[in-house]
Amino acid sequence: MPRVLSGIQPSGQLTIGNYIGAIQNFVKLQDTHECFYMVVDLHAITVPQDPAALREQTESVAALYLAAGVDPSRSAIFIQSHVPAHAELGWIMTTLAYMGELERMTQFKEKAAGRGSVPAGLFVYPTLMAADILVYNADLVPVGDDQKQHLELTRDLAERFNGRYGETFKLPEPYMAEVGARIMSLDDASKKMSKSNPNPNSYIAMLDEPDVIRKKISRAVTDSGREVKYDPENKPEVSNLISIYAHFSGLTVEEIERRYEGQGYGQFKKDLAEHVVSVLEPLQTRYREIRSSGELGRVLKEGAERAAAVADQTVRIVKERVGFLPPR
């Protein structure tokens, strides 16, 4: 069975962008793949984090995986730092990477912009991301548009290692949803919807109350026209809302366009809000049940054990090929 690896950072509240771009795919892929889904806390600390908030958010993200339908009997759900092989292989990958290719990473440029001093962890975190994938020899990685460059680096590092030390790693392929793999901000469709945006009206959090969701969608920026039409180049804001509608309703873009022909944006936005609420409200109920039940600790422990069984074996092989002396 082909193997999948993915994860989400526990920094800030998860948004519907995370739900559409990642978690929905997590659920879908577990029917046909061997899946490893982690909460990437090692990546989170590339920027300063409040320790108590980091612990809370780490549990929250794991609980949202479960609430959204990721099944721990079919998928390994775990915390990245609970499997030390990630950090170990991460260092080995860092030694294979070149400064130039890390400097070219678009996300690094964006996150480093305007900073007086840039943490080294922010610079080298793509090599840890590569290790996250390669330590499981994943065949497929669910990614948004903004992560494709990191996956290309992962493939380059895998090929570099294979060329230097012998065939060891598979070259992972991206898995992307066709529509709306990248959900944009509600107040600026040129920017990705982000949980770190200081304007809370720019995103819909998975745990936002129904009335908050309705208010945010009613205030979402559109344009001066009235046509509900998917045209990302000329109508980026409306196209973004149509993408969200398609994912939460199960309708195609064409069906949505036909439904609101000649109606303007008012009814479209109201209906969109109800579709989002109808999906998130039961998910939120399940989330609260998981957090209060105490089952999360057991799920994460078992998930880390399953993950480590695979990851530790990969690292053993890598160390042998690199020439490290094994302990006796």
28 is catalytic: no
Q: Cβ neighbours of residue 275 under 8 Å, at least 6 residues apart? A: 245, 248, 249
Catalytic residue among 109, 191, 192, 270: 192
> 125: exposed, middle or buried (C-beta count within 10 Å: 0-12, 13-18, 19+)?
buried
195 is catalytic: yes
Q: Please write down the long-range contacts of 194-201, taking CB distance under 8 Å and 24 or more positions apart.
A: 194/15, 194/17, 195/11, 195/12, 195/13, 195/14, 195/15, 195/18, 196/11, 196/12
Count other C-beta atoms under 10 Å from residue 288's C-beta. 12
Catalytic residue among 195, 216, 235, 269: 195
229 is catalytic: no
> 210: exposed, middle or buried (C-beta count within 10 Å: 0-12, 13-18, 19+)?
middle
Catalytic residue among 111, 216, 235, 269: 111
Return the active site residues.
Answer: 111, 192, 195
